[in-house]
């Protein structure tokens, strides 16, 4: 019997049999299924399989994490199941068909905002600092002055920081949305940027001045065509008008590409599509989008400000975390931005920050319960810190969903905190800063109320998780991660204890770039440590080299985006370029190695076109994972600073 035949046969039964599989494929680390009836999948049984590192459902796909050997596992699964290999596009199409129209719309909105998150987080921090400097009257001898009013230096800093805050939230959001949609639809990104700039031009009346505009104002801010006048309205911080404008522009560009002879496309297509797109944006789509946005914000505000706002807060607070599992949580950014544009603040974002804290508090309780369990602490502690800083995926996927009850306990605590939050009308000036630092974005008059809500979101999930965990005997084991009932050994510590110690060795950076912690990667499998420990690199180069000397043991020839290497000491590494770049089918990638090749430190593994990855709408983050420690007993991982490919050491093991 082949290595994975038994597990493959069991997996077939646990996903509901061949008749329950609509499509099946694999990438570099995981099996991807589209199931006819997802409810038939026995998740606990699947995660108990020795070959399985974890599982999750996202965007209509049921994904089973295998690791570097996924290609071999998939071959044996196909052999025992008779299910043929599907293309990644087939799987995505089938997964989309599994979603209802509302899920697909929400998924698309989430995908639009995902590339904008770094800028939104930065802008949120900037506005948080300005909140402290210019809006909190808690300083001075009498405790009633702001820092800016006490010092010319802080006044200058406050004014300077607005340069970035305005760029992100007033100007950057519409421009970023137009760029992101154009990327996703395969249009010309620069034209998308230009379209966005026309929505926030200084020639237009600023969106914040529209509600108070008079007839005299419109006499200045109108295009007079003789037969008609059109108001020159800016769409600063507006989301819906930018989405509508970008979608229409991209369809126009596709249309003109289709009907225009190739020899003159360079002139005709951009001119006609951009001109008509801007006309449509300002004469038709902008006013429609403004009306839709106002309608959405009015509905949400009605829920948040009604006598039953506490109930709204409980529901939103409790069920925000499940949205994170689906990846649809980014779509709330659109609602937040609309609320800020319409009323100068949002009551949704404070509840999101509280949900982050609640998830982290459940992990904190698990950490206390498992304080003698070194293997579990390797996941618990980084996940808890990450959560308290606003990034919940490591905690959700790495800890809370593994045991289920911490996730439920955190939902209960977050719901209670959310109800209290809306009951006291806590409002944030900006979005982007989650977790404990989220208090920086809260309007000064609500600081104390939010602090009380934070206390609830810390205490309730912690207490509930600790009590339930203690009752279930969590923490009685030592040296291994305690496995939840029914999951066998698959969720034990991600690495088995080494058979012997290894002489100190190291791995160098596979690419040039800037290091970042693995927990910050926007992929639940990597950030939660399901594949193992490691580091991420924001690349400045475009060639990936071997971080160690060894044998190439895993390559996917068609996608060319990742390579697995095993050292002579049995330590397995995965070099993975980009997130979801398997969808690119090798476009923009070139392989310089094949399975079975011997490689030395610094040998070229693959090259990648960063521009092509960006145009495909994927992050170009490079991930280096230790998927199996072999005989290594410890890892020392460097996660900050700039590194050079094939030179700077980033992982040491012994």
Which residues are the active-site residues? 27
3-state secondary structure 4-40: CHHHHHHHHHHCCCHHHEEEEEECCCEEEEEECCHHH
User: Which 8-state DSSP code applies to residue 284?
Assistant: I
Give me 566's structure tokens.
Answer: 């095993």
Rounded Cα–Cα distance for residues 40 and 21 (Å): 11
Decide if 235 contacts 176 (C-beta within 8 A). no
Rounded Cα–Cα distance for residues 148 and 249 (Å): 44
Decide if 591 contacts 599 (C-beta within 8 A). no
End-to-end alpha carbon distance in the chain: 35
Q: Cα-Cα-Cα-Cα dihedral of 536, 382, 571, 71, to 10°?
A: -70
Alpha helices per DSSP H over 424-515:
447-471
522-534 per-residue burial string, b: 16 or more CB within 10 A, e: under 16: bbbbbbbbbbbbb
Decide if 174 contacts 256 (C-beta within 8 A). no
Alpha helices per DSSP H over 283-331:
286-305, 309-326
Give me 274's structure tokens.
Answer: 């951009």
User: Which 8-state DSSP code applies to residue 520?
Assistant: G
Task: List the Cα angle 624/630/636 in 5-degree steps.
Answer: 50
Phi-psi category of residue 578: left, alpha or beta, with phi > 0 → left and psi -120 to 50 → alpha = left
**Would you call 587 exposed, middle or buried from its count of C-beta atoms within 10 A (0-12, 13-18, 19+)?**
middle
Instruction: Enumerate residues 6+ apart whose C-beta is below 8 A from 440.
Output: 125, 128, 129, 131, 132, 433
CA atoms within 13 A on the CB side of 472: 19
DSSP codes of every residue in 386-417: HHHTT--HHHIIIIIHHHSHHHHHHHHHHHHH
CA 146 centroid distance within chain: 35
User: Which 8-state DSSP code applies to residue 482?
Assistant: P
Rounded Cα–Cα distance for residues 528 and 532 (Å): 9
Rounded Cα–Cα distance for residues 29 and 31 (Å): 7
Among the listed residues 436, 431, 439, 326, the one whose alpha carbon sits nearest the alpha carbon of residue 386: 436
User: Which 8-state DSSP code applies to residue 483?
Assistant: P
- Backbone φ and ψ for 345, nearest 5 degrees, come out as -175, 170
User: Which 8-state DSSP code applies to residue 484?
Assistant: P
- Backbone φ and ψ for 306, nearest 5 degrees, come out as -75, 170
Residue identified by tokens 């290609």 is 71
Decide if 601 contacts 548 (C-beta within 8 A). yes
Rounded Cα–Cα distance for residues 73 and 7 (Å): 9
Rg of the chain (C-alpha set): 26
Rounded Cα–Cα distance for residues 398 and 525 (Å): 8
């Amino acid at each position: 019997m082949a290595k994975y035949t038994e597990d493959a046969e069991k997996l077939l039964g646990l996903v509901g049999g061949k008749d329950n599989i609509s499509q099946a494929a694999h990438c570099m680390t995981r099996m991807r299924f589209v199931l006819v009836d997802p409810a038939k999948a026995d998740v606990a049984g699947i995660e108990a399989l020795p070959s399985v590192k974890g599982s999750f459902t996202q965007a209509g796909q049921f994904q089973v994490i295998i690791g570097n050997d996924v290609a071999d596992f998939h071959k044996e699964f196909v052999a025992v199941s008779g299910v043929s290999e599907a293309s990644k596009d087939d799987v995505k199409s089938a997964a989309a068909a599994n979603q209802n129209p509302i899920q697909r719309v929400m998924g698309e909105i989430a995908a639009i905002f995902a590339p904008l998150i770094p800028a939104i987080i930065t802008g949120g921090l900037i506005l948080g600092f300005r909140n402290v400097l210019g809006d909190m009257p808690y300083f001075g001898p009498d405790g009633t002055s702001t820092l800016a009013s006490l010092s010319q230096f802080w006044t200058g800093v406050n004014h300077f920081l607005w340069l970035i805050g305005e760029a992100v939230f007033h100007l950057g959001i519409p421009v970023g949305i137009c760029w992101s949609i154009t990327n996703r639809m395969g249009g010309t990104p620069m034209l998308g940027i230009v379209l966005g700039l026309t929505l926030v031009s200084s020639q237009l009346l600023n969106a914040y001045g529209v509600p108070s505009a008079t007839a005299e104002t419109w006499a200045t801010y109108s295009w007079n065509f003789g037969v008609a006048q059109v108001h020159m309205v800016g769409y600063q911080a507006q989301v819906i008008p930018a989405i509508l404008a970008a979608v229409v522009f991209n369809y126009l560009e596709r249309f003109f590409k289709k009907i225009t002879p190739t020899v003159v496309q360079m002139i005709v297509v951009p001119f006609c599509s951009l001109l008509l797109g801007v006309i449509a944006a300002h004469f038709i789509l902008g006013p429609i989008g403004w009306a839709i946005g106002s309608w959405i914000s009015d509905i949400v505000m009605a829920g948040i400000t009604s006598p039953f706002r506490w109930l709204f807060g409980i529901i939103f607070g409790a069920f925000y975390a499940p949205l994170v599992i689906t990846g649809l949580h980014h779509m709330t950014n659109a609602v937040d931005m609309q609320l800020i544009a319409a009323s100068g603040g949002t009551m949704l974002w404070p509840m999101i920050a509280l949900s982050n804290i609640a998830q982290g508090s459940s992990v904190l309780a698990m950490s206390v319960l498992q304080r003698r369990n070194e293997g579990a602490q390797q996941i618990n502690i980084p996940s808890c810190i990450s959560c308290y800083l606003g990034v919940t995926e490591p905690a959700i996927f790495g800890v809370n969903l593994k045991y289920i009850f911490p996730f439920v306990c955190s939902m209960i605590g977050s719901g209670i905190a959310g109800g209290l939050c809306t009951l006291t009308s806590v409002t944030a000036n900006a979005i982007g800063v989650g977790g404990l630092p989220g208090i920086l974005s809260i309007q000064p008059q609500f600081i104390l109320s939010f602090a009380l809500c934070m206390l609830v979101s810390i205490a309730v999930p912690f207490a509930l998780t600790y009590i339930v965990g203690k009752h279930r005997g969590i923490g009685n084991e030592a040296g291994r991660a305690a496995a939840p009932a029914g999951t066998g050994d698959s969720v034990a510590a991600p690495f088995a204890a080494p058979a012997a110690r290894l002489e100190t060795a190291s791995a160098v950076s596979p690419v040039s770039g800037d290091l970042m912690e693995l927990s910050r990667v926007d992929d639940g499998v990597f950030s939660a440590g399901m594949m193992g420990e490691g580091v991420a690199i924001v690349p400045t180069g475009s060639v990936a080299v071997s971080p160690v000397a060894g044998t190439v043991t895993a390559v996917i020839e068609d996608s060319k985006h990742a390579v697995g290497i095993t050292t002579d000491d049995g330590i397995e590494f995965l070099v993975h370029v980009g997130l979801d770049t398997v969808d690119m089918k090798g476009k923009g990638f070139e392989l310089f190695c094949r399975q079975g090749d011997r490689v030395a430190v610094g040998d070229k593994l693959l090259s990648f076109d960063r521009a092509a990855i960006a145009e495909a709408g994927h992050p170009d983050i490079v991930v280096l994972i230790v998927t199996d420690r072999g005989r290594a007993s410890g890892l020392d991982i460097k996660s900050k600073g700039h590194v050079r490919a094939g030179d700077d050491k980033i992982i040491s093991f012994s």
